[in-house]
Structures are given as structure tokens and as C-alpha cells.
Structure 1
Amino acid sequence: MLIFPLGGFVYRVDFSWVQHLLGALLLCCATLAAADGAYKPSGSTARDDTLIFGIHPYTNPQDLFEAYNPIARYLENKLPGTKFQIEASKDYADYEAKLAARRFHFAMPNPYETLLSLDHGYRVIAKMTPDDDFRGLIVARADKKIPAPRDLAGKPLCFPSPTAVAGTMLPMLYLADHGLKIDKEQVRFVGSQFSSILNAYSGDALACGSTVRFWRLWSRDNPDKAKEMTVLWKTEALPHNGIVVRDDVAPQLAQQVASTLAGMDKDKDLDPKQFKADQAHFELAANATYKPMLEFLKRYEQALGLPGQMKARSNTFK
């Protein structure tokens, strides 16, 4: 309280309300900070004994957690005493930085990042399957008549991102191998396979890149739209997403995880309702499994030139 005389009067000013206001503001800020930090894909609050399982960010974090948390719980159930935490990343650059920093105990990188991880002390123990799902597609509206890849010359095309192996790189190499001279000005990268397909559906692009697996799931969830679309061409297959383990994880545990994943789709007690994105299919694999991916990158570099972020790391794969 402040007391002071003025004009023959004594004034008492109580500033306790300021203290209350400041307290309320501080509480509000703390609450907002807590809310902002409540969702942390980085997994920084994991227990010391938690095994961090990093999934490459092919979709948004929420969908990724919904798809792969059941796998983490399955592993915990089959391997008593273990604790797995699925970790998302904000984008591919963030994910690849975590691989380089050896953040993950286990990870599921795409085929390119699987090769990348080998340079940071990881090794391949399993992979997703079937490889037939790891093919690219070129998709367009059914009412567009496009007899051959050359007919796409100068027309707007869209793809998920420059480094998306199945959704972008396989389709672009297919087009180049079949006579289309791709002008960079005609290509737009729209961030996701979902956006890629919608751009072709709306007519903003004449054709788009997608993958066998995503197209199957999108068609299932959007049957009416799918009837208006058609698959123009399908690319070759590459080895599917890898499962890698850090070199300081106990070999026995690594083998148990690999064997458990490889046996998932043969488990009679498995609840298929938990795996709506067909993500419960794995098989055993090794580093040598990804030799076809290495050859693909060399072909892509010769035909189209690797994306900048890949070219910078190309020495890793020689």
C-alpha cells in the first residue's frame, strides 16, 4: 500500500491487485507453456530404459502414432520387460538429423534413409513387406487421355516431395526412362501423397505421383473420388522400409525384435483391427537387402540428378 498527501487529503493506494494480476498472468503463461509442450513427438521425456523407435515422417505425427503405437504395444506384450516409445519427427530433415545423432534405438527409415543410417552405426534387421507395395504410380483423372509419358511434356505434374522415394523418385525416373524430358518448371512438390492425389483429382495437375500402398488405402477411404481417377503406369519395386537397430543395443534383444516383427502377420492372436494401414507385415533382412536401392540412386543421379540434400550425402553410398 502507498500513502501520500495531496491537496490536504491523505490518499491510500492499494497495489495488492497488481500482485494478483501478475500472479494470474504468470499462471496463465505457465499453463500455456505446459499446453504447448504437452505434445512432444521428440520423445524427450522417455524413461531411461525406454527404447525409442523412430518412424520416418511419411505422414503427420498423429496418424503415425495411431499406426505404429499398436506395434510398440505388441512388442512389449511379446517381449516382457521392454518399453518402446514411438517417436515422430517434424520432417525428413529432422528425422535424418536424429539418425545422424543416433537418437533412436530402433528405427523404420525409408529405403534411402536405411542406407543413410548404416553410416551412423545402425544395421538392418528386418523390413516391411511386401516389396510390391513399394512401387510408384503415376495417377491422373480418368477423363484425361494420356496414351504415353511423352504426352505429359510441358504439363503440370505434382509429387509429394523431392526425396520421397516411392511417391516421387520412382515415378519421375519411370517417366524419364519412357521418353519424357522433365522440365523442372512443370513439377510441383506438394508435401504429401494425399495432396498430390487431390491436385490431380481437382485438375490442378494433369498427373501425380503416388505409391501402391497409399493409393490402395486412399481408394478404400474415398471410393467415389477413386472412380474418377485412373492409374496410368506402375514402376518397378524397391526393397520396402527397413527396420534398423543401433549398434549398442544388445544383439539378443535386436534379434528378438526382428523375429517378433517378422512373425506378426502369422500370429493368430493378432487383432487386425489395430492395423488399418496394413502396417503389420515384416520379414527378416540385412544390410545387403538394400543393394537395389543403391543401384537405383546411381541410376537416378545419371538420369535426373539427385535432389540437393541427397547429392550432398552421395559419398556415403559409394
Structure 2
Amino acid sequence: MADEKKGDLSSLGDDKGGKAKAPKKPAEKRFTVPVFAVCVVAAAVIGVLVGKFLLGGFAGGAVTGKTTLSEGELDSTVGSYVYQGQTHAITARQALGAATGVDAAKQDDGTYTMPSADNVLDYARNQVLAVAVKAEGIEVSDEDMATYAKDTLGTDDYASLASTYGMSEDEVKEVVRQSAGVKRLYDKVVGTDDSAQAPETPAEPAEGSEDAATADYGKYIVGLLGDEWDADKGTWAREDGPYYAALKDQSFSADSATYDQAMTAYYVAYQQYSQQASSQSATWSQYVNGLLANASISIGELVS
């Protein structure tokens, strides 16, 4: 059975010209914990778990060697994890509910698709993170959930989200609750820095006005320059910054600049954001890997 594709860190790659590209939107309407784009890089996590990442390492009530499940087998064990001295079984219902929703796994013949190894692994990771959230004294209220859902998914209408993502309303609420908690944990570990925000792309000019200089583009550029620009004198405040390096040969002002000049400033701003976001991601991954290094995760032989 093919593994389900998961959301992960947003792409921060550069094109051949050295200009950072904005992350692409996911093609599928599916989300897992964490919904936001700061979850752990899977390869790094699995690397930490070498020696503790087992296949078929448990027995007793487990279903193995199958590709589908009957409804009566949804509560059968498909994996387990040991964390802080306690062993926890993972059922097919839990793994599917957190990944795709149980109903979405139901097939035309009434059987259910077996959860993939990634589904089971993701569920175990997220439970370890949930323990860390609780240990930090983070509590997520209904209001916190609503705010997070609006900010991340555009709405806190859980019934609508359930319909859109093919999940039950309770499954959606649980994903949002866990994601909101992990986001708070992320902010505590990494810190909240308003400068680590992707810049807005300047509006494209009307056809036939591509080379026209406007006040809007001038205002856009100056708004990005920060302490590199002296607003009173209308010129550079210093010449050792990345914006100066990119725009030093350009003639512009707060009242007049072209679209191309604005895009040059945008690419510099995005590169700065990209570097800071990468640093934050590395800090978060190191923290989570530290947690998971103390966990043992076993996954049943899910397919024959």
C-alpha cells in the first residue's frame, strides 16, 4: 500500500538566479498534526530513531500482513510506542483518524484501508509532542482552537472543515486542538519574531505599464528597507546591508519606483525570511528530535 503524503516544512529553495521562491500551496485538501508549516522533517526524526524504530516489533491482538480491515478490526493494534517508561498501543482507528479520517479510509466493499507505516509513525510522534505540550503547562481553550483554525484554515466552522477534508467533526477538532497546542510549544521553543514573516509580493502592474514608476512601488520598497534607509534624507542610511547590495545601482525614491525594482527588493526580503525561517526550523527539529530520541516506536507488518 502506498504511504499517505504528509505536509511538511514549506519549501524555502532558491531558483538558479539565487532568488528565493515562495512556498507552493499543497495540491491536496488534507491536513495532519501539525497543520502549520513548522513540523519536523521526517528524515531527521527517523535518523534519530535508528535502533528504536522497529517493524513488527509487537504482538498480542495486533493485525499484521493485511492490506484492508473489517469494521470490527479498526480497534486492533497496528503499532505501539514507549515513552517515559509507559507503553501505548496504537489502533488502526487512531492512526487513520489522525491522518485521513476513518470514513475516508472506507472502501466500496465496506472494508477499510490499512493505515500506512507513516500514519502510525506520525501518530506516535504527535502523542510524544502532546506530552511535551502538557509538560510545558500549555492549555488550549475553545477560543484558542477557533483562533488557530481561522488563522490556519480560514474558518472555525468544524462541520464545514470536516466535509472539506473528509473527516468527522470530532477528528477535525482533535487535529486543530493538537495543532494549536504544538504551535504554542513551537513559539515557546523557537520564540516569536515578527520579522520572520514572508513578505507580500508587490502587485503586478497593469498591462502596458510594466516600466512605469509609481509611488506605490516606492512605498513598498522603502517599507522593506528598515534601518538601511534614511527616511528624512530620502537616501541610504548605510551601505553594508543586503538591500543596498541589490539596489545600489538603481534610482528610486519613496515616491517613485518600478515594478522590477520592487521585485528586486521582494527577493531580498524573501531571502532574509528564508534564512531566518530555516534557522528556526533547525532549532525546532533539534528540540523534537531530542524528545523522540527517548521514544521507541514499533510498527506492525502492515502489508503482506
User: Normalising TM by the smaller chain, what interval?
Assistant: under 0.3
- Give the number of the structure with larger relative contact order, counting CA–CA contacts within 8 Å between residues 6 or more apart: 2
The higher radius of gyration belongs to 1
**TM-score (norm. length: structure 1):** 0.23
**TM-score (norm. length: structure 2):** 0.24
